[in-house]
């Protein structure tokens, strides 16, 4: 077994968005930086098993749905289908492009990349175990833990069974299922319910709570429930499994309420755990919580002064977009001891169901509970010329604003391109003082026809409600 020793100003563990953001910021500031990535390619879970592949899958399926529903092609009378394996090929192509692009960032900025498993020897010494038992010891001044997370595996579910998947292994699906049970109706569960139903697979979506995505504005949550059910998804609320058993032919799930549900395969999508075990953080006095997550300060500093953590390993908000910003803020704090920038409190939510969902700011339920006098402005996509042209008439935009000051308090969008549309409203919400007003959408000329025109329609609708 060979051993080598090297020295760097900073070690970053994990090359997902959080680790990349930290490494790039540190390198651009003149630090010598090494990125330690356990897997053979950089990009982390975001690129290989999470955001990128699942959204690529979603895009392919939504285009297939669009083709089947578009009257322009109805005369062909050809029902075109795509297998899960076929659309996975498209996702793999996107992943390769992302890996090549992100590899170029490290090369261009002089960041050393080592592939291997990192573990702490001390707060300033990291051991990297590479293939064939090669060990490298890295002396460093500071460390950023950005090791990400993985799907939670309860001990009584056999994930080694060929018909039982999690959100990582489903990307290597070996079946062409006619039916699937999706256990867990969070963001991942709802997104995959849309994808599989779009492929014509019968879907049972098991929700352990009383409504879908309860953190959303209730109207948006209800819209998602309606459209999933309308597409044929069976949603079962307030259910928990008693047992999950795989056989050669199918998977049987028995619920605590006494139901027996059978499908060709099962996707378990209920919770995630931090990738903490192999790091041996106990050697430096760090204690993760029961989800394998570390507690950090506002500057992403752990209880050990020179060790920082960002991304899924610290929990909320567990978003790729937020993780990159966390990495940059963390790196600035490592360099100067402080950082004027903070992660915005109003982080937009992007949920890539079919149709997709995005929101930022307060919900109606929150404003009512806080006794804020607000009004609602709505625009239905079916009334927009661009939506009619593109045959994407399902959906709506809702603006919540203060009745007296006209300040925009929350924006909620359901429909195709929702995750793009939301950023226009987000930009106005971030303006200071009188800059944040719903009247901006009325006094500003938008391109026509566009989906962004929904802001003008919704603003007029809301202001007209004030006038009675």
Task: Annotate 137-169 with DSSP letters as a single string.
Answer: EEEEEEEEE---EEE---TTS-TTSTTEEETTG
How much is the average pLDDT of 385-403? Answer: 94
- Judge whether residue 176 has pLDDT over 70: yes
pLDDT at position 131: 82
271-to-190, 288, 304 alpha-carbon distances in Å: 13, 16, 28
- Judge whether residue 346 has pLDDT over 60: yes
Quickly state the pLDDT bin for 343 (edges 50, 70, 90): confident
Lowest-pLDDT range of 129-138, 197-206, 454-463: 129-138
Strands of the sheet with 164-166, listed across from one edge: 164-166, 265-268, 179-183, 202-206, 234-236
Quickly state the pLDDT bin for 138 (edges 50, 70, 90): very high
Q: What is the pTM assigned to this prediction? A: 0.93
Q: Can the peptide bond before residue 297 be classed as cis, meaning omega within 30 degrees of 0?
A: no
Query: 15-28, pLDDT tens digit by residue?
Result: 999 999 999 999 99
Show Cβ contacts of residue 64 under 8 Å, excluding neighbours closer than 6 positions: 80, 81, 82, 198, 199
Distance between CA atoms of residues 235 and 203, nearest Å: 8
Query: What does 309-320 look like in DSSP terms, one character per residue?
Result: E-GGGG-TT--H
Question: How many percent of the chain have pLDDT more than 90?
Answer: 82
Distance between CA atoms of residues 445 and 457, nearest Å: 12
Question: How many percent of the chain have pLDDT more than 70?
Answer: 97
Distance between CA atoms of residues 15 and 259, nearest Å: 43
- Judge whether residue 1 has pLDDT over 70: no
What rounded mean pLDDT belongs to the chain? Answer: 93
Q: Is residue 332 within 8 Å of 343, Cβ to Cβ?
A: no
Quickly state the pLDDT bin for 340 (edges 50, 70, 90): low
Distance between CA atoms of residues 468 and 465, nearest Å: 5
Q: 59 versus 84: which is more confidently predicted? A: 59
> b/e string for 64-76 if b means 16 or more Cβ within 10 A?
bbeeeeeeeeeee
Query: 297-339, pLDDT tens digit by residue?
Result: 999 999 999 999 999 999 998 989 899 999 999 999 999 987 7
Q: Can the peptide bond before residue 449 be classed as cis, meaning omega within 30 degrees of 0?
A: yes
How much is the average pLDDT of 267-282? Answer: 96
């Amino acid at each position: 077994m060979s051993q080598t020793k090297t020295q760097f100003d900073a070690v970053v563990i994990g090359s997902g968005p959080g680790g990349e953001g930290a490494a790039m910021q540190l390198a651009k500031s003149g630090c010598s930086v090494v990125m330690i990535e356990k897997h053979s390619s950089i990009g982390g879970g975001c690129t290989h098993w999470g955001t990128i592949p699942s959204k690529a899958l979603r895009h392919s399926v939504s285009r297939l749905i669009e083709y089947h529903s578009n009257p322009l092609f109805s005369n062909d009378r050809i029902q075109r289908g795509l297998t899960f394996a076929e659309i996975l090929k498209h996702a793999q192509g996107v992943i390769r492009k992302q890996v090549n692009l992100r590899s170029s960032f490290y090369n261009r900025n002089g960041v050393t990349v080592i592939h291997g498993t990192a573990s702490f020897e001390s707060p300033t010494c990291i051991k990297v175990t590479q293939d064939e038992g090669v060990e490298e010891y890295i002396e460093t001044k500071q460390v950023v833990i950005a090791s990400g997370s993985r799907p939670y595996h309860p001990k009584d579910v056999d994930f080694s069974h060929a018909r039982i998947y999690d959100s990582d292994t489903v990307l290597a699906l070996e079946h062409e299922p006619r039916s699937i049970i999706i256990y867990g109706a969070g963001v991942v569960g709802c997104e995959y319910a849309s994808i599989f139903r779009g492929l014509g697979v019968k879907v049972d979506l098991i929700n352990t709570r009383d409504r879908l995505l309860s953190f959303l504005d209730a109207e948006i949550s209800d819209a998602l429930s309606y459209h999933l059910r309308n597409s044929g998804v069976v949603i079962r609320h307030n259910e928990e499994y008693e047992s999950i058993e795989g056989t050669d032919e199918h998977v049987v799930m028995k619920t605590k309420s006494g139901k027996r549900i059978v499908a060709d395969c099962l996707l378990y999508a209920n919770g995630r755990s931090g990738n903490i075990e192999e790091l041996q953080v106990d050697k430096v006095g760090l204690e993760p919580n029961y989800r394998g997550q570390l507690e950090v300060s506002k500057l992403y500093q752990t209880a050990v002064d020179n060790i920082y953590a960002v991304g899924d390993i610290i929990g909320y908000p567990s978003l790729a977009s937020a993780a990159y910003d966390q990495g940059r803020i963390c790196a600035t704090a490592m360099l100067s001891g402080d950082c004027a920038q903070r992660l915005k409190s109003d982080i937009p939510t992007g949920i890539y169901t079919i149709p997709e969902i995005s929101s930022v700011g307060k919900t109606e339920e929150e404003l009512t509970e806080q006794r804020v006098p607000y009004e609602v402005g709505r625009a239905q996509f079916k009334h927009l010329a661009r939506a009619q042209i593109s045959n994407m008439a399902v959906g709506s935009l809702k603006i919540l604003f203060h009745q007296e000051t006209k300040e925009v308090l929350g924006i909620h969008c359901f429909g195709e391109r929702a995750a793009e549309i939301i950023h226009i409203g987000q930009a106005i919400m971030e303006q200071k003082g009188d800059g944040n007003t719903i009247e901006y959408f009325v006094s500003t000329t938008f391109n026509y026809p566009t989906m962004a025109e929904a802001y003008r329609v919704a603003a007029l609708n809301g202001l007209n409600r004030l006038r009675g």
